[in-house]
Each structure stands twice: as structure tokens, then as C-alpha cells.
Chain A
Amino acid sequence: METLLPLAILLVVTLLLCAGILIVTQVLGPKNPVPSRFEAYECGIKPESGSHVPFKSSFYLIAVLFLLFDVEAAFFLPWALVYKDSLAEGPALLWALLVYLGLMAVGLVYILQKKILRLN
């Protein structure tokens, strides 16, 4: 509760700021609708088709790899928190790290040798 409230206040202030920006531009800006102003900008040429064309799925691979590595990296954080305190009790956590990192490195090497990141 004590931690949530300041954040909630900040969120409210930010939302007010956003609403203010929106309203001020609507009030101050001139209205002069010229038809060409509402077309998609493609360097002056009339757009041939809609923009919604399918893309290469390499982008999906990047996002998926990010998700998986993000999960792994997120679990590093609690490990790092207790590591310093655990040093007094021997290297148990160091071994845990090495096993964990070894597995993560195998994954990383696998990605890199697949050369999937070369999008062109």
C-alpha cells in the first residue's frame, strides 16, 4: 500500500499531463482539411495497397529468443541478491551459477551458429 500509492499518484499526474497535451493541441491547432493531408505518406506516390503485408518470421524468432532469455535473466536477479550473503556458507551458489550459465551459454551458442540474426 505504502509503495503503491506514490506510484498511483504519479500515474494519475502523468495521465493528466497526457490529457492536457491532447486537449491543448485540439484547441490551439488550426483545422484546414485538405484531402491529400489524410493519405498515407509514401514519398508523394499514391499508396498502391494497404500497409498490412506479411513479414519475415525472423522478427518473431528475435522476439521469442528475447522472451526466453528474459525469463532466464530475470531469475539471475534473485540469485545475485543472495550471492554476496551466501559466500560465507561456501561455494554452493557459485556452482549453481556455473550450471545455470553453462546451460544458457549452450543455448546462446546454438542461436549464434544458426546465423538466424542475419535478417537480410
Chain B
Amino acid sequence: MILAEKLTSMAYWSHFVSIALFALGLLGFLTRRNALIVLMSLELMLNAVNLLLVQISMRTGTSEGIVLVVFVITVAAAEVAVGLGIILNLYRMKKTVDLGSFRNLSG
């Protein structure tokens, strides 16, 4: 595809939105040190993938992608439930949710 054609096609921009969302999530995951925001960034990344799946599924007229998204949503819910439980426990230990202060947990 030539560039001009690309820039007017909605499919291209849909990919762009999904990937930009993923990149934002990854950026938050890498740079923020607040455990809660790191968890939120993970959610953003999962949602970026969902967005791409839905979009491809709708474009090709199949339903498998949507079923997959349903499973992803369940796993995301589980991840949040466990993740926040862990964060609550960490907060009880150190009275902070800054990830830098939990270095001594490794090894």
C-alpha cells in the first residue's frame, strides 16, 4: 500500500490505535514505580490486544476472536483480584506501594 492510501484506510488506523494503546501500557509498566499503576498498565496492554482481536474478528466476520476476548477478560479479572491482594499484603508489610522498596524480596 502506498502511504496516502494507508493514511485514509480505517483498518490501518485501527491497528495504530491498538498498538499505541499497547505501547502506552508497556511504557507505564516500565517507568512507573507505583504497584497499582503498574497493574493498571497491565490492564491497558490486555485491552490493546482485545481491541485488535475484536477488530480482526469483526472484519473477517468470524466469532472466534470474540470468544477469545471473553476468556482474556476472565483472566484479566483473575489477575487483578490476585494482584491487588498481593499489593494489600505488601502495603501491610512496608506501608508503601512503591515497587522500589520491595527489592529485598528477590532471591
Contact = CB atoms under 8 A, between A and B. Distances in A.
Which 7 pairs between the two chains have the least Cβ-Cβ distance? Answer: A71-B77, A64-B81, A71-B74, A67-B77, A67-B81, A57-B88, A60-B88
A107 to B, nearest CB: 13
Contact of B81 (A57, A68, A75): A68
Which label, helix, strand, loop or mixed, suits the secondary structure of the A interface? helix
B5 to A, nearest CB: 23
Interface residues of A, number: 7
18 contacts: A57-B88, A60-B84, A60-B85, A60-B88, A64-B81, A64-B84, A64-B85, A67-B77, A67-B80, A67-B81, A68-B77, A68-B78, A68-B81, A71-B73, A71-B74, A71-B77, A75-B70, A75-B74
